[in-house]
Structure 1
Amino acid sequence: MATWLRKCISTALLVSALCIHEYAVVTGAAAVECKFEHEDYCKCKLPDGHELDLTPLKDIPAFLDPTAAYTWSPCGDVLDFPGTACSAGVAACQFADSNRYSIGTIASVSVVMDDSRNPITFNLSYTGGTEDRQALIQAFCTDVFPGSLSFEKEEPQLTYNLMLASSTVCKVTVVTSPISGGSIVLIVFFASLFLYLSIGVIYMHAAKEAVGMQKIPNYAFWSTLPGYIKAGLGLIFPCCGSTSKEGYSDIDGK
């Protein structure tokens, strides 16, 4: 009996370990979407539970590239230029021909992690700018804080590619999610089952001097339960089980 119980417990632990391993493994896909929650554009979460958090950059009014032609605010409005296209709701701005142009709104941002590169990069895309202007910012990890923003190229037309090098991008952390209701039910069920078997086996062995399978609490009931279930299913679904009515009487006594 003890050997049988140890085998059951070992099997359950092995299955649990395999499930946890499968959950923890990252797929390794080249491009993975990082989703924002609750309109917090400083944080986005990857499918495996990791989170990119740009909150440390929130107190920086805006990034300015060396040409002074592009500004970007990762967590809020570019408010440096009220009364122009680069005002409330705008995350990235272009200065050209003595004018200010929006190259992307905050609400339009989408983030994709590209793990095919070394170091891993996060591509932040902004749309909804002046005359359909767009911004694509490639953010990658360096040891510099807050980092630097630089213009790379305009490709395709009206799409402005910039690079962000910042130590903030390095700090991708794991976010733990609350345990779901179903998980709690399963944990309580298997914990109760374990206690039921453990305490029952000890009691049957010590108080009843039971041996072998008789150590299982209520063994007579559990050993006959499958037969009762089979008989019940046979009556409910005669096409799928036994159709024999041996041991049963018709209601009218015939």
Structure 2
Amino acid sequence: MKVFSSCRGISFLVWIVAFQLVLFESGVYSVKSTKDCTLISESPLQRKVLERLEPLVGKNFTAEDKASNESYTYVFQLCGDAGGVRNAGLIQVEKNTQKPTVIGKYTNTQAIGGSDWVMLIYKNGEKYDSHCNKEERKAIIMISCDRNVKAGTLEGILEDREKEEDCFYLFELDTSSVCPVIESKLSTGSIILIIGFSLLAVYLVGGFLYQRVIVGAKGVEQFPNYAFWVEFGNLAADGCDFVCRSRKREESPAYRGVATDNLQEEPEERDDHLLPM
């Protein structure tokens, strides 16, 4: 019975693993990334631009358009199926009929980037019915730097379709993902000084508290290693005096306690006037 039970457990685990593999293959559990975008002309530079947008992958951004007679909702997804429409990077959904229109596909992507912005272009959308000489639709998403938001709100700017060719939909999106990295302006010397002053502050505060609370010192003796620093100051002063003083130092007297002022020669007394004439 135990062997039969263990075999059933192993079979159950095998079925679970197989089911998960099927889900991964079908895309239900697939991990999205900017690599899912197919560039029109593959280049390392455009790939690097797309990698800056990695934090936005897998998120749907929506924008409302109420300027026209019919209200539309636009759905944008970076390198993913917008609104669940396969290969669609940006779609237009009519509110009355809920019919989606593909504006651009992420399988036909172009990425252009600057220091604090990225312009994402989705091409190969559905053709216009009557505008723009019935060419394919195209979406341009201008993604700009805003350090205050991780992923902002998608805004529809305009639909330029009153011409014969090269029509497009323009959108804006703010995010901190495209913001340049702020480099530290501190030099190596400044960093060393900051670390040094921080360690000194910890030493003084910690030593003061230890001397006062643990040792029970009072007055200047609360200063950490007070005796050492006093002796160090005296030695430093002696060294400075020895190196920096230019005048000759007087030799100490042979006997202690005798001042040098008393050892000066007294004026010689002459006694010639006592001799007989």
Compute the TM-score of the two structures, normalised by the length of structure 2: 0.39
Which one has more relative contact order, counting CA pairs under 8 Å at least 6 apart?
Answer: 1
Whichever structure has more strand as a proportion of its residues is 1
Compute the TM-score of the two structures, normalised by the length of structure 1: 0.42
State the structure with more CA Rg: 2
